[in-house]
A and B are shown apart, each in its own frame.
Chain A
Amino acid sequence: MVVAGLSGCGKSTLCFCLCGAIRHNRDGVLAGEVLLNGKNVRELRAAGLALEVGMVFQDPDTQLFSPTVEDEIAFAPENLCLPPGRIRERVEHVLDLLGIAALREANPYRLSGGEKHLVALAAVLALDPPVLLLDEVMSSLDSAGRKKVAAVLERLRGAGKTIIAVEHDLEAVDFADRLMVMEKGALLRYGRTETLLADRDFMGEKLWHSWN
């Protein structure tokens, strides 16, 4: 599913609610309930939520802290207490999946913006969470990067993962089967992507005029 809307409409805040950051480590009041696979995020420990949902944040600089890309990807499986052989398997799998094996020894801090986003995504994929939240990952990639990530997301969806991507740019939403449009912190429309995109009145009045 893609969550779309103008800047400041609350897309990232929604992500922070979904991953449990609001309530656990960020300021904010969480009204109502957020259920992840039937589990209330209020009742889960912040670190325990990582087993339920993985999130790639908007700013990759605040989520990359290891000296090499390989170490960055290994961080999550190490936290899960996996044996070294399994950690190696996950690291290799994710490096191959995103086609970043060549960056294995690179310092994440010195990569380009697009590469940093790919590494941040890889680091979260190594956790293998059932739900994946992506906060404006596609819009920071070039067209080749977008295609690569879209293909990966397609495979993950086929493997039964739930993917929720926040996107500002509607061109990046075509991989999603559901579209949710937000405005001023509230849900404006929700439905099948092709249905909403085909709704000329809605798209014309509400989105294209204000977004473009």
Chain B
Amino acid sequence: MKLDPRTKMVMVVCLSGLALLYNTPGQLLLVFAVTVALLMIFHFELSVIGDYLKPFLSLMLFLLVIQCVFSPGGEVLLAAGPVPLITTGGLSMGVCVVLRIMTVAAAAMLFTTFSSRDFILGLVQWKVPYELAFMVSIALRFLPVFRDELSNVVTAVQLRGVELKKVPWREKMALYRRLFFPVVYGTMLKAQQLAVSMEARGFRVYPRRTYLRRLNLLGADIAVMLVCLVSTIMLIALHFT
């Protein structure tokens, strides 16, 4: 389905908003199911969605355990003597947190269906200051640069004969701490050079700027946006009544 980036942004905001609002596993499961169904309409296969969520797995497991242990309430399912370890309330909270993260992360996949340029254009046409929209886009642009920088430094360390896999955990942390500063410094240098380059190409030479392309909201976009916004407002109203 070909939709304007702004329509997709509205969808992401609605889904994420509901995921943050709801606090029962049933409701959150429903929002997650709707999110996955929407992604499939946008031609994302289930395996792709699974691969995308995989990096969040350890965080989700960690939060599940934390919630199970530290959110008491309900029946005790597992106890160590007199100390309850897992309760139905804690388990329910843990599942809610996991579903919430999965929904927000999955909804964010919609951002990958359009370019950062369209993201900026969409926001600017909604009167968001260009500098602000551009800043967000540049931050996203720098994520792979930061990752590459880190990967280069790690490779350089390994080429000097340090087998990171065999280094004990404590020493590995110390090593990463030492690597952190060159990576951050290198990225800051790149950011500074990027700023020079942008100004050298007339960034903010005039108070306003023009654009090569323009996004147009079609009837389908307006209809989808209305459906999303109206149903979200209704669900929020129902939640509070």
Contact = CB atoms under 8 A, between A and B. Distances in A.
Interface in B11-40: none
B155 interface: no
Q: Which of B115, B141, B192, B202 has the most CB of A within 10 A?
A: B202
Nearest to A66: B117
B190 A81 contact: no
B145 interface: yes
Contacts of A74: 212
Given A62-B193, A83-B210, A76 B202 contact: yes
B200 interface: yes
A46 interface: yes
A25 B196 contact: yes
Given A68-B115, A78-B210, A83-B210, A50 B202 contact: yes
A63 B202 contact: no
Given A25-B195, A65-B141, A48 B205 contact: yes
Contacts of B211: 78, 84, 87
Interface in B190-218: 190, 192-206, 208-214
Nearest to B121: A71
Given A87-B212, A91-B212, A47 B193 contact: no
Given A61-B190, A65-B141, A68-B117, A25 B199 contact: yes
A74 B202 CA distance: 12
Interface string B136-154: 0110010011000000000
A61 B196 CA distance: 13
Contact of B208 (A53, A76, A81): A81
B116 interface: yes
Nearest to B200: A55
Given A67-B117, A68-B115, A83-B210, A50 B205 contact: yes
Interface of chain B: mostly helix, strand, loop or mixed: helix
A57 B197 contact: yes
A80 B205 contact: yes
Contact of A50 (B115, B190, B200, B209): B200
A48 B203 CA distance: 9
A209 interface: no
B145 A26 contact: no
Nearest to B201: A76
Nearest to A62: B193
A61 B145 contact: yes
Interface string A1-32: 00000000000000010010100111000000
A51 B201 contact: no
B1 to A, nearest CB: 21
A49 B198 CA distance: 12
A49 B204 CA distance: 11
Nearest to B213: A84
B82 to A, nearest CB: 58
Interface in A35-88: 45-51, 53-55, 57, 59, 61-63, 65-68, 70-71, 74-84, 87-88
B112 to A, nearest CB: 12
Contacts of B204: 47, 79
B178 to A, nearest CB: 24
A163 interface: no
Given A70-B212, A77-B212, A87-B212, 4 more contacts: A25-B192, A47-B199, A62-B197, A74-B212
